[in-house]
Structure 1
Amino acid sequence: MSNSSFFAGASGDFHTFQFRAMNTRIDMAFYCKSEQAARLEETAAHWFQNTEERFSRFREQSELSHLNRLAGERCMVSDAMMEVLRLADAYRELTGGAFDPLILNALHAAGYSESFELLKQHPDLAAAEPAKSVQGSTASMQLNPVMKSVQLPAQSGLDLGGIVKSWAVRRLAEHLRKELFIERGFVNAGGDLAAWGPRDEVADPWRIGIEHPWDTDADAGIIALVSGAAATSSKLGRKWAAAAGPMHHLIDPRTMRPSDSDVAQCTVTGKDVVACEVWAKAICILGLDDGLELFARKAEDCEALVFTQDRQSHLFASPESIGTRWQGVRYDHFREPARA
């Protein structure tokens, strides 16, 4: 999602701030008393910092790195790690394996073994070695929520980057709304966003610019939400050159290679930011027809704007959403969900 195009009208004190964490830009906006603003900013910054320290695969001392080093052994994990692993496992099943967190070896084989910031500064890190062949596995994590333990398949590794970012947005938004009683707010972590507003009155929506896949100076339209979520996944942002050719970060678990589907970018909107993030990624990996077919059957209360490699745009939404939820979106093809 565009970081520069959100707005909502309301009475009260309006505060915004931005910072970087988890290799992305975090944008926040909310209405609160002025004396609360600094404390809320500190709370948010600490939350994303702590999340990165626990879940980053690029930090040797993170809990995730520790878990990956012990693949094949049963390990005790924190409550937060168990929560995310259970989410990841549930979405692996729901998407038929299109979303799979056990892709670390494939990312390394494609050259994505350092943080993307380092790859941009030193592209030779990825290009130095030819991409290796990595075999997929039908094995999955063995989770024991009661014992708070997990066993990864031997010689495997987890990458939780995408789902952790959306989970962090969801958890922070819930904390601000339910525990700190912030009635209207907005959290956007590099395109994974959650917005909320008061339920007992008609409120102006948040208006979020949709990132244009081929024109960084323009939006592809606006998503208008009073309360809800959205996420964008793309093959165009995190890409690099390797000895075997162009690479990107969206690994197809069926091939353990960067996806070669006909989808370049997908934006999904719905009620839950984690669901939006997972489905946006799954559609990019599966491709337009297979992705939207699964999306129609499994993703409740979600809609999607898909851009294909031939620079065509496909809006998958109810007619009532055009001009209300989706504003100013130019699309070449329209599909109405035929959900039971």
Structure 2
Amino acid sequence: MTAAAEPVHTTTFSAMASKVTMRVVEGGPDSTAALAVAREVFARVEAACTRFDPDSPLMRANADRTAWHQVPEECYLAVAEAARAHQETGGLFDPRVLDTLVALGYDRTLPFRSGRVAVTGSGGPVTVPVTSWRPGFDPAHRSIRLGAARIDLGGIGKGLAVRLAAELLADAGGSHLIEAGGDCHVSGVGPDGDGWRIGVEDPAGGDQPVAVVRLRDTGCATSSLRVRSWLVDGRPVHHLIDPRTGRSAEGGLLSVTVLDPDPVRAEVWSKSLLIAGRGRIAALARQRRLPALWVDDQHRITASQQMQPYVIWEATDAG
């Protein structure tokens, strides 16, 4: 996703396996300091929620799931949001997919952007519990108890970092954009005074976006098969796991973009709609009144009725 013009204050860095860009237009004198503080948010969320550090608060809780664990606020919030999302989506969003990702060889940070990654792994499905996930929460002690299966907080953690950073930048004045590997939040009128123009990346790998949307004061998230896909023993897989099958989702969609004032909810529903698949996405988006745009495996681009007012340009097809 890209904005149309350069603002006054910009910072770019890497966090949570993504390039993060934060911009403030016509902010106050404390904009630079606010950007620095917002950057620290990503570091805290990553440290608390990463699955790639066995000593992180998340992985300590994963290691002993029947015990209570006192965790940093960022981890507590991420688990609470994941539990809420699991209920709201009827189980389409289910963080209990960590063992599946490990079985597929995604037990370390893979160099996806350097080319087609090939790993060795079991590649077989790992059963996700069909029961509703209800972890334990002790707000007085900021403690959690995860239950039967290990969880992954990668996507929802990034959405949470965007949300918390946006709350901090709201005090910097002017307009802002936060973009982190497909999850973003924008506020205000943007660099040109008529909203932020955000390009939706082509999941087929083209250099041009498949659509451009004009946004103010909202979150936007895209879930896509473009980047985090790899080969396991010669078989293509990707990181968006369908909890109903224990395999990479095979619903006929290449990417889904969702708008919501809360970037966490935008992240949750972009992933859930992609997992729901081509046959269900239109009805589910309509039922939930979600502004959504999707690209299917025939490279057709579709926007829900709620998304159409935001689309200012759309390609004839993707790729």
TM norm. shorter chain > 0.5? yes
Residues 170-224 of structure 1 show CA distances to partners (whole Å, capped at 9, x for unaligned) of 11101221xx3423111111111111117xxx94201111111224311112110
The gaps in structure 1 that reach 5 residues or longer are 333-340
In structure 1, what is the Cα distance between the partners aligned to 2:138 and 2:259? Answer: 30
Q: What residue in structure 1 maps to residue 293 of structure 2?
A: 305
Q: Aligned-pair distance for 1:241?
A: 0.5
Q: What residue in structure 2 maps to residue 28 of structure 1?
A: 22
Matched, 1:104 2:104: no
Q: 1:158 to 1:100 in 2, by over 3 A?
A: same
- Give the conservation status (yes or no) of the 8 Å contact 1:288–1:306: no
Q: What residue in structure 1 maps to residue 76 of structure 2?
A: 82
Look up the SS of the partner of 1:282 in the other structure.
helix
Q: What residue in structure 1 maps to residue 66 of structure 2?
A: 72
Further displaced range: 92-101 or 140-149: 140-149
In structure 2, what is the Cα distance between the partners aligned to 1:36 and 1:307? Answer: 41
Further displaced range: 17-26 or 128-137: 128-137
Q: 1:75 to 1:215 in 2, by over 3 A?
A: closer
Q: What residue in structure 2 maps to residue 136 of structure 1?
A: 128
Q: Aligned-pair distance for 1:249?
A: 0.1
Q: What residue in structure 1 maps to residue 277 of structure 2?
A: 287
Q: Alpha carbon RMSD of aligned pairs, Å? A: 2.4
In structure 1, what is the Cα distance between the partners aligned to 2:113 and 2:52? Answer: 12
Q: What residue in structure 2 maps to residue 55 of structure 1?
A: 49
Q: Give matches, 1:1-340, under 5 Å.
A: 2=1, 4-7=2-5, 14-32=8-26, 35-117=29-111, 123=117, 127-139=119-131, 140-147=133-140, 148-154=142-148, 156-177=149-170, 180-197=171-188, 203-243=193-233, 245-298=235-288, 300=289, 302-318=290-306, 322=308, 324-330=309-315
Look up the SS of the partner of 2:19 in the other structure.
strand
Runs of 4+ in 1 over 6 A off after TM superposition: none
Q: 1:33 to 1:224 in 2, by over 3 A?
A: closer
Residues 232-264 of structure 1 show CA distances to partners (whole Å, capped at 9, x for unaligned) of 001221001102611100000001111111111
In structure 2, what is the Cα distance between the partners aligned to 1:101 and 1:5? Answer: 31
Look up the SS of the partner of 1:86 in the other structure.
helix
Q: Aligned-pair distance for 1:229?
A: 1.5
**Taking structure 1 as the reference length, what is the TM-score of the superposition?**
0.84
In structure 1, what is the Cα distance between the partners aligned to 2:177 and 2:143? Answer: 34
Q: 1:224 to 1:83 in 2, by over 3 A?
A: same
Q: What residue in structure 2 maps to residue 335 of structure 1?
A: none
- Give the conservation status (yes or no) of the 8 Å contact 2:286–2:304: no
In structure 2, what is the Cα distance between the partners aligned to 1:5 and 1:80? Answer: 28
Look up the equivalent residue of 2:188 and give its one-letter code.
G
In structure 2, what is the Cα distance between the partners aligned to 1:65 and 1:163? Answer: 16
In structure 1, what is the Cα distance between the partners aligned to 2:198 and 2:205? Answer: 17
In structure 2, what is the Cα distance between the partners aligned to 1:34 and 1:151? Answer: 43
Look up the SS of the partner of 1:116 in the other structure.
coil
The gaps in structure 2 that reach 5 residues or longer are none
In structure 1, what is the Cα distance between the partners aligned to 2:287 and 2:80? Answer: 22
Q: 1:237 to 1:41 in 2, by over 3 A?
A: same
